[in-house]
Amino acid sequence: MMTTSIRLPRQFRLTLSQSLTLIGLTITLSFIAIAFLAPTLQNIGWLQDPNEALANPIHEAPGADYWFGTTRQGYDVFARTLFGTQAALKVVVLATTLSLIIGVPLGLVSGYLGGKIDKVLIFFMDTIYTLPGLLLSVTLAFVVGQGVINAAIALSIAYIPQYYRIVRNHTTSVKTELFIEAAQAMGAPTSRILTRYLFFNVIQSVPVLFTLNAADAILILGGLGFLGLGLPPEVPEWGHDLRLALDALPLGIWWSATFPGLAMTILVTGLSLVGEGLGDMLNPGRKNN
């Protein structure tokens, strides 16, 4: 039995890719705006204090008074969901930026110099890379403790090998190019070759990796919060709220878990769409596959 595959016209496929990228960018920017506006909305009285429980902690269903309802403990789900956006973005931006700042230079040095430095770095990076991200983050969270900075450190270590590997592989290919050999022949110092000639020729995939790592970090941070290892309890965080909602689900309080879970899912989807769109723009060959 013969099967036929339907192949969309190239122009339509590009339009679809651009549309999905625009959707992802809109979602991501909307969450960034929410993170910035949440404290202002609270200050002007349009948003409940996320840590202020009702005087009589009786859960309220979503309605005019509480758009997303209240938790079993009496907290406003809408306020905690919005402030959870702020906490998630803080940790994720710190974690991905820290891993990029460490991983990219290590990849450049390792790929260009080679030798014993390259072998040692490959050994350590491959060891870290083989460990599941959530398992490594949980282990590190036990060591460093709770907090925004500590959570960012725990997450960043899991992503450093990814930046290292992709930059090192590109560096080993580019360093044999004629313009690099010409710079070496002219006596250019290693630091100048790395920063001026190699850096901008090997980082094409870094923005894509940064965005996709941010999406992954949202999920891992949620996992840490669900296990009680992410941020302190007084900081609104989606994973922590999902953990508190477990006891409420048998009582029919579905909204206390639904809205934080939806927020996490939508933001991860938006970041993933942006990452895929950047991949198409920075690597045109992918569009023809």
Question: What local confidence, expressed as pLDDT, does residue 56 receive?
Answer: 67
What are the C-alpha distances in Å from 282 to residues 209, 263, 289?
12, 29, 15
Spatial distance between the Cα atoms of 201 and 163, rounded to a whole number of angstroms: 15
Mean pLDDT of 127-149: 85
pLDDT of 1 reads 43
Structure-token pair, residue 117: 């430095």
278 backbone φψ class: left, alpha, beta (φ>0; ψ -120 to 50): alpha
Only one residue has tokens 């460093």, namely 144
Reference 81, options 264, 245, 231, 226; nearest CA is: 264
> 59 vs 177, which has greater pLDDT?
177
Q: How much is the pLDDT for 247?
A: 82
What per-residue confidence (pLDDT) applies to 84? 92
Residue 137 CA, distance from chain mean position: 14
> Does residue 196 form part of some domain?
yes
Tell me the residue range of the domain where 258 lies: 18-48+70-288
Q: What local confidence, expressed as pLDDT, does residue 13 receive?
A: 53
Sign of CA dihedral 64, 69, 72, 75: negative
Q: Is 57 a domain residue? A: no
pLDDT at site 271: 93
- 14 pLDDT above the threshold of 70: no
Residue 9 in any domain: the answer is no
Total number of domains in the chain: 1
Residue 159 above 70 pLDDT?
Answer: yes
For 247-268, the pLDDT digits (tens) are 888 888 888 899 999 999 999 9
Which pLDDT score is estimated for 213? 92
Q: Is residue 157 part of a domain?
A: yes
Domain for residue 55, yes or no? no
For residue 27, the domain's CATH number is 1.10.3720.10
Determine contact, residues 205/146, Cβ cutoff 8 Å: no
**Secondary structure class of 51 (helix, strand, coil):** coil
Q: 3 falls in which pLDDT band (50, 70, 90)?
A: very low
CA nearest neighbour of 34 among 95, 81, 93, 96: 81
Whose CA is closest to 75, among 223, 218, 262, 233? 233
| Residue 6 belongs to a domain | no
Rounded distance between C-alpha atoms, residue 209 and residue 10, angstroms: 25
User: Residue 178's beta-bridge partner residues?
Assistant: none
Q: Tokens 């990219």 belong to which residue?
A: 104
What are the backbone dihedrals phi and psi of residue 43, each rounded to the nearest 5 degrees, phi first?
-65, -35
Residue 199 has pLDDT above 90, yes or no: no
Residue 6 reports pLDDT greater than 70: no
* Structure token pair of residue 13: 């496929």
Assess whether pLDDT exceeds 70 at residue 190. yes
| 264 closest CA partner among 17, 21, 31, 91 | 31
Note whether residue 59 is domain-resident.
no
> pLDDT exceeding 90 applies to what percent of the chain?
36
What phi and psi, each to the nearest 5 degrees, are found at residue 7? Answer: -110, 120
Q: Which DSSP symbol is given to 249? A: G
In this structure, is residue 177 part of a structural domain? yes
- Please determine, for residue 126, whether its predicted confidence score (pLDDT) is greater than 60: yes
Work out the pLDDT band at 10, boundaries 50, 70, 90: low
Weakest mean pLDDT among 19-23, 26-30, 185-189: 185-189
